[in-house]
Chain A
Amino acid sequence: MARDTIEVTVTFPLAAKPFHGDFDGSASILTVRNAAMKGLGADEEAGSVFYLSHKDQRVPDERLLRDIADHAQGLKFRLVKELIQG
């Protein structure tokens, strides 16, 4: 059975360049987010929460990439850093 490889681009305003990577459709959003955060130089830290946003909708970490892609071969996300203190 053919693997469903999906080209992923993740942008983050505080990074100089977007993150690009190829992932199997069975990869979780958490897997993609972790790889993107590493590539974008973003670290988990107290007082903030990171998540991926697709079409301005927060995507839960547990979802699978293929469920978001809906047969598309490429996906674009934004890495969002939500500040939770105030």
Chain B
Amino acid sequence: MTDAESALNLKSDESDVAAFLEERGGKLIPDESDNGMYWLLLRPSSDQSQEYVACVRWDRYPQRPPSIKFADAIKGSLANARAWPSIPGYRPGSFDICMPFTAEGFALHAEWNSGPQSWRTSGNPFLWVASRLQDDLNSVRYSGRVA
């Protein structure tokens, strides 16, 4: 669960995220039991038959980056490597994304907390995270589902 102010901030930003995902065949599903958690259905533009489920959990919004893990279904297991797309920086072996838009990445790289990679709270950071995931799936760096 996140605090009341974060929940209000998320409510304010989530409609843009939902619209962004739906335009690309995806969907935003708020978790019923945790007001800081969302399930994102994502489809790569190169193969719309592939569906990925990202679990995005905000602790404090927009002050801190979210934890992001891929699940094998909505509310499914977060510990299934086959649920992950193959993209550099996405690490199904450790169930994290080692990049400067996730809580896991910033925990591993303290140096990202200052300088150009630091977490930005301007605009709509939730949309930034959703578009980061979608654009990675759409990029040439994506090479299918983890075997």
Give A contacts to B, CB under 8 Å. 12-16, 41, 43, 45-48, 53, 56, 58, 78, 80-83, 85-86
Contact = CB atoms under 8 A, between A and B. Distances in A.
Given A13-B128, A14-B122, A85-B89, A56 B116 contact: no
B85 interface: no
Nearest to A14: B123
A45 B138 contact: no
A56 B45 contact: yes
Contact of A83 (B101, B122, B127): B101
Residues of B in contact with A, size category:
20 to 34
Interface in B64-98: 88-91, 97-98
B36 interface: no
5 smallest A-B Cβ distances: which pairs? A86-B89, A45-B116, A13-B128, A13-B127, A14-B123
A56 B135 CA distance: 8
Nearest to B121: A14
User: Quick one: which of A12, A14, A41, A43 has the most chain B CB within 10 A?
Assistant: A14
A46 B123 contact: no
8 contacts: A13-B124, A13-B127, A13-B131, A15-B122, A41-B122, A81-B132, A86-B89, A86-B90
